């Protein structure tokens, strides 16, 4: 799972600008071979829980 989280972090804009959940999921699924929606959601939720990703109208890295 840490590898999936690291991949997700790399896909979030470096400048901290917002990115929509759907756009982020599409990038993630394109970047990780055989990844599922559940993989994305687990990685996203873990990053939110760690305080590394913020949830709102859009997600942005913290």
Residue 26 has what pLDDT? 97
List the pLDDT tens digit at each of the 62 positions of the chain. Answer: 799 999 999 999 988 888 889 999 999 999 999 999 999 999 999 999 999 998 876 445 54
Cβ–Cβ contacts within 10 Å for residue 7, how many?
A: 17
Q: Give all domains of the chain, ordered by start, each with its CATH number.
A: 2-61 (1.10.10)
40 CB burial (10 A radius; 0-12, 13-18, 19+) = buried
């Amino acid at each position: 799972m840490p590898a999936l989280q690291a991949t997700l972090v790399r896909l979030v804009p470096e400048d901290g600008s917002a990115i929509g959940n759907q756009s982020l999921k599409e990038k993630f699924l394109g970047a990780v071979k055989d990844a599922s929606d559940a993989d994305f959601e687990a990685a996203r939720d873990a990053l939110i829980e760690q305080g590394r990703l913020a949830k709102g109208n859009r997600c942005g890295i913290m």
